[in-house]
A and B are shown apart, each in its own frame.
Chain A
C-alpha cells in the first residue's frame, strides 16, 4: 500500500493533500498497489473527500487526545498505520504539519526521507524522488535503501486530479495521551489568504519598493488578480517592518506558483533560488540589465510606481481574478 497522510481544514481536504493523494494514486497504479489516505485528529469529518482523489481505503485516527497537534503523537499514529497496513511508501504534503510529522515518522520507521519532492516514481519496487536542493539551484534524485520510504510533496507541483476510489473507511485507535510536546494555542491564523508556498499567483517586492508602506501598491494589485504578496530578502532586511514570513528566497520560502511577478527585484542568486520553480515569471524593473530579466517570461523595463498602478487598473477593467 501507498499511504498518504492527509490534512483537513474546516472539514475539507486541503489542496496540498489532494495533490499528494493524486500523485499517490498514480504511483499505486504504476506499481499495482492500493492507495490509503490517513487522517488524524479530534474529528475526521470530511475524510471521505479522499475517495475523490483515488483512495481505496480511508483510515481515520480520531480521538480527543488528538485535538491539538503533537508531533510525537501524530508520528506514532502515522508510523503505526504504515506498519499495520503493510505500506512501504508514506507520502504527505510538504505543509507545516507534513514537514513536522513526516521526518519524525520516518525515523520511527528507520526510513529514508525526501522533502519537497517535485517528481516521484517507483523504481525496482522502491520510491525514487526528485527534489530541489540549494533552494532550486539544482535537483537531486533521491534513492532509498530503507524498507520504508517517506517523502513530502511540494505544494502546487502535482496536479490534484479527481479519480474515484472505493474509499472504504476504517477507524484506527487513537493514542491515550501523555505526549512530549503539543500545540497549546494558535497564535496567528493565515487569515483569508493562502500561504506563499501554496499560492498560485505571487506579487513580490524588492529593494526597488523603497519603503514598506509602498507594498500597499502590491497588495492592491495582488487583490485584483487573486494573488499573495511576497518580498525579497533585501526588502525584509531593510527594516521596513516586513515579516520574515513574507520572504521568498533561499533563506526564506521556496515557492512554485503558476505566476510570479517580481517588482523592483534585481534577482540576486539567493532570491532566484527561491522562485525559479515558478511557471511564469514577470519582471518589472527600472534597470534593463537586472539579472531577473534573464529568467522572465515577460519583462517590463520601467518605473514600478507607474507600472503597478496601471496593472491594477487594467486588471480591474479586464475583470481578471485568479481561478
Chain B
C-alpha cells in the first residue's frame, strides 16, 4: 500500500493576524509557523496504517523552502520519504490541487490523506478538488477510517451527526480532529530523519481560479457593559437587556 499525505504550513492558532503592506496578504512578522493541525491527524493515520499492515508513506507539501520544516517533522514522525513541490505558496486551493494531482498521477498511490481544511485559509477545498481532478472518491471531515481490500469505510461528521461513507481505493480522505491522537516525534525518529533528504521538484504549472484581492481585520466590536448586583439581579438584568435592547428574544 502506498499512501500520500499532503501537509500545509500555516500560522499557529495563537498568532495575532496583521495585514501586510500590500493590503491583501498576511504580515509574516512574529508569526510562528506550524503544520496545519488537521494535517497532523492525516499523517498520524498514515503512520498507523503503516504500522498495522505495512505501507509506504510519502509526505508532500507545496510551498517555498520554509515548508521543509513541515516535511522534516513528517519524516521524524515516520514518513518514509518527503517531497516538496516548489511554488510560491500563493496559489488557491484549485491551483494546489492541480499541482498535487500532477505529481500523484501514475505513481500508484492507494490512499491520499490530508486535513479537512488548512488552518487559516479555512476553505476546506483542496481535498475534494484533488479527488475530482484524480477522478477518485472522497470522504471529508473523517473521524474514523477503516481499509479493506481495495475499499475504504469512513465515518464523517455532518451537521450535528455523522455518516458512514464507503468507496473504492484510491480515494482522498480528509481528516478531522478525533480521528486519532497524533504522537510526538521520538529522538530516534528525529535522528533518523536527519539522514533523509527531501526530494525537491518544481510544481507543475497550474491555473488559479480565485485570489485574495484584499485582507482586512474585522471591525472593532462596540463597547459592552457589565451588569452589577447579586446573581439573581444580574440574571434578570441580562435577560431584560437581551429582550429590550438586543431584541434577541
Contacts and interface: CB of A to CB of B under 8 A. Distances in A.
B52 interface: no
The 8 closest A-B pairs by CB, nearest first: A112-B209, A112-B210, A181-B167, A190-B160, A181-B137, A180-B137, A195-B160, A310-B235
Q: Which of A72, A270, A321 has most chain B Cβ within 10 Å?
A: A72
A99 B164 contact: no
B19 to A, nearest CB: 7
Given A135-B122, A245-B157, A310-B235, A107 B129 contact: yes
Most central of A71, A128, A311 by chain B CB within 10 Å: A71
Contact of A186 (B120, B161, B217): B161
A106 B215 contact: no
Q: How large is the interface on A (under 10, 10 to 19, 20 to 34, 35 or more residues)?
A: 35 or more
A55 to B, nearest CB: 23
A225 B249 contact: yes
Interface string B115-146: 00001111111011111110111111101000
Contacts of A313: 232, 235
17 contacts: A72-B138, A75-B128, A134-B120, A138-B19, A144-B210, A146-B207, A180-B167, A187-B162, A277-B218, A282-B238, A300-B226, A300-B234, A310-B232, A320-B249, A321-B249, A322-B249, A323-B249
B5 to A, nearest CB: 19
Contact of B166 (A137, A181, A201, A302): A181
Interface of B: 11, 13-17, 19, 24, 26, 37-38, 92-94, 97, 119-125, 127-133, 135-141, 143, 152-153, 155-168, 171, 176-178, 207-218, 221-222, 224-227, 231-232, 234-236, 238-239, 241-243, 246, 248-249
A111 B171 CA distance: 22
A242 to B, nearest CB: 12
A299 B129 contact: no
Q: Which of B135, B153, B225, B238 has the most CB of A within 10 A?
A: B238
A154 B61 CA distance: 29
Given A135-B122, A307-B235, A183 B215 contact: no
Given A181-B138, A185-B164, A113 B125 contact: yes
Given A104-B129, A139-B216, A180-B171, 20 more contacts: A96-B157, A103-B123, A111-B209, A115-B123, A134-B15, A135-B120, A135-B122, A137-B217, A139-B215, A179-B137, A181-B166, A181-B167, A182-B166, A184-B164, A270-B14, A282-B238, A299-B226, A300-B227, A314-B232, A318-B243
Nearest to B19: A138
Contacts of B217: 137-139
Contacts of B241: 298
B239 A140 contact: no
Interface string A251-292: 110100011000000001110010011011110000000000
Contacts of B123: 103, 113-115
A54 interface: no
Contacts of B125: 103, 106, 113, 115
Nearest to B159: A195
Contacts of A302: 231, 234
B83 to A, nearest CB: 22
A110 interface: yes
B159 to A, nearest CB: 4
A189 B226 contact: no
A96 B158 contact: yes
Given A138-B19, A225-B249, A270-B14, A104 B131 contact: yes
A298 B211 contact: no
A315 B239 CA distance: 7
A180 B166 CA distance: 9
Given A107-B132, A107-B133, A250-B13, A245 B218 contact: no
B207 A110 contact: yes
Contacts of B19: 138
Nearest to A105: B132
A193 interface: yes
A226 to B, nearest CB: 9
Nearest to A201: B248
A225 B142 CA distance: 32
A136 interface: yes
A137 B121 CA distance: 11
Interface string A128-152: 1001111111111111111001000
Nearest to B173: A181
B74 to A, nearest CB: 19
B236 to A, nearest CB: 5
A217 interface: no
B213 A250 contact: no
Contact of B218 (A101, A137, A297, A300): A137
